Amino acid sequence: MHLRATLACLAVLVSPWCPAARAAENPAPTKIVLIAGSVSHGAGEHEFKAGCSLLASKLNTLPGLRADVHFNGWPTEASAFDGASAVFIYCDGGDGHPAIRPERLKILADLMAKGVGLGTCHYGVEVPKGDPGDAWLRWTGGYFETFWSVNPHWDADILKLPEHPITRGVKPFKIRDEWYYHMRFPEGMKGVTPLLSALPPKETLERPNGPHSGNPHVRAAVERGEAQHLMWCTERPDGGRGFGFTGGHFHRNWAQDDFRKVVLNGLLWIAKREVPAGGVVSTVSADELKLNLDAKPAR
């Protein structure tokens, strides 16, 4: 009697109509949450909504992946982060960074404790020194610190790339952007892997010293000819992963294949998905680049 009951139960478990069996055959997709900041700057600059939407559209062509975009700086639904494997934040930063409110930092801290990945982009890498800066240092490996880091516009010439899943299929490239540099990193770069590095020209220091320009530390580093890290990543003790990418000021740059690929690769990596041998292959048309742009006065 007991044997027949056991066999009957096993038959239910392996049946294609069994919910457990269907779940095993069709696991939930890996979920990446992309957070786009509010309207900022002039047309074609800081196009957070269009940039996040473009990246998500490329991720959503990959099997077993789901990329959700939330606008205006933070999701409106409490369930937005449910089941997320990674979070990407592309927004204005500093004191107005949408993620640094105490209740939102707490949400992120809880996600990080579960091993969720975190990627930050352009102004989103800048948070105030103190608790937010310490959090970004732990979760992504580095951040823009005022009176330490700088934000000039310049042509970064990426001459070589290290071997890492995020750099798969990415070729050396040169492109003009507002490449922030001289980030605040852990002492000795402990636990941090530089991904994109370049030598900034001395012209990037022509502005007077200020919270986002000049400063003796940067001037000395450039004088010494130190390569500056424009994208980096980290693997955290909690099992999570993070990266920072300082480019992304000009929306047009997302049409450059290697610029776009290294960020798409980074999003897969922090979500703990295997990055293809040739990286995430995608194309962007001129029409796609115009989608989801914010209504802004032309410059």
Whole-angstrom distance, CA of residue 260 vs CA of residue 253: 8
Sequence spans of domains, the chain: 30-289
Mean pLDDT of all residues in 92-107? 97
Check residue 299 and give its pLDDT.
Answer: 62
In angstroms, the Cα distances linking 140 to 3, 94, 123, 253 are 54, 16, 14, 23
pLDDT(203) > 60 = yes
Check residue 297 and give its pLDDT.
Answer: 76
Task: Report the alpha-carbon angle 169-173-177, nearest 5.
Answer: 120
* CA nearest to 151, candidates 175, 182, 127: 182
Residue 27's pLDDT band, with cuts at 50, 70 and 90, is: confident
Classified as helix, coil or strand, 89 is strand
CATH architecture of the region 30-289: 3-Layer(aba) Sandwich (3.40)
Q: How many CB atoms lie within 10 A of CB 47?
A: 29
Residue 18's pLDDT band, with cuts at 50, 70 and 90, is: low
* CA nearest to 118, candidates 280, 273, 267: 267
| Cβ pair 113, 216 in contact under 8 A | no
Whole-angstrom distance, CA of residue 24 vs CA of residue 235: 28
pLDDT tens digit sequence for 36-64: 999 999 999 999 999 999 999 999 999 99
Q: What percent of the chain has pLDDT over 70?
A: 91
Q: What mean pLDDT value characterizes the chain?
A: 93
Residue 11's pLDDT band, with cuts at 50, 70 and 90, is: very low
Mean pLDDT of all residues in 245-262? 98
Check residue 80 and give its pLDDT.
Answer: 98
Whole-angstrom distance, CA of residue 137 vs CA of residue 135: 5
